[in-house]
Amino acid sequence: MSNDNTHLPEHVRKNKAMWEATSDTYEKLHADALAGENALTWGLWRIPEAELNVLGEVAHKDVLEFGCGAARWSIALAQQGARPVGLDISSQQLSHARRLMAEAGLEFPLVEASAEAVPLPDASFDIVFCDWGAMTFTDPYKSVPEAARLLRPGGLFAFCGATPIQFICSDVKTDRVERHLINDYFGLTHLDWGDSIDFQIPYGEWIRLFRRNHLLIEDLIETRPAPGAASTYRTGEENEWARHWPMESIWKVRKESSIL
């Protein structure tokens, strides 16, 4: 991939620059929470895949991690017999992925690209997923069609991230999630934090977007921290907020087996 980023949309350039600058710090802060058995866990409070059963059986399946970061999920899935590919916009994130792959004695493809324009063929994967990865930082009107394009008929698209409810309660000026409404729900598209841009749309828009791309909704899992749960990603105050309102959710949608 060329180092010339001038052709990229502004939000892609901004988010790429943010991850290039913060990747090493992120790795130091969260490595322990993501390592070992925690690799196969979801979200802010690391809820086990064995409990949520989002991806199901992965052995012998082609899996694309949408915004893989250091690729811990993909490494763990490879150890379960999957054939993963990791995609990320940040070369620095992928450097951590290569280091961890080498430590695990594994090798699989890593692709440096935006999830809005993936340089891979149609119908290449049985599963496309991310855990607070690309679906947080990309325009869903571009990344959802890409995920659908990349899936085989009957394939699973699953992604974990923030909820519209968190977005309408988030104050970008104070970097706080409040217990009252701040942002316009019906005009919800994204929040600009200065160094990065996060995307979100209303629930009805998600449903219509999935349907337009022949993706059938199987589940919406609204995660909730256990009493007293800690997170390296959120403060105690934010964890308590999430005990009362959904801060995080996991969409599970499946590509139609036949498209007329």
Q: What domains sit in the chain, N to C, each tagged with a CATH number? A: 10-255 (3.40.50.150)
| Per-residue model confidence as pLDDT tens digits over 231-243 | 999 999 999 999 9
CA-CA distance, 132 to 233, in Å (whole number)?
11
CA-CA distance, 121 to 53, in Å (whole number)?
28
| Per-residue model confidence as pLDDT tens digits over 116-171 | 999 999 999 999 999 999 999 999 999 999 999 999 999 999 999 999 999 999 99
pLDDT at residue 41 above 50? yes
For residues 203-218, average pLDDT: 98
Minimal CA–CA distance to 88: which of 103, 107, 74?
74
pLDDT at residue 180 above 50? yes
Which pLDDT score, from 0 to 100, does residue 7 have?
78
Average pLDDT, the chain: 95
- Let me know: does 158 contact 139? Beta carbons within 8 Å: no
Would you put residue 75 in left (φ > 0), alpha (ψ -120 to 50) or beta? alpha
For residues 85-104, average pLDDT: 97
Q: Cα 222 to chain center, whole Å? A: 15
Which helix (H) or strand (E) segment holds residue 158: the answer is strand 151-162
| pTM given for the model | 0.95
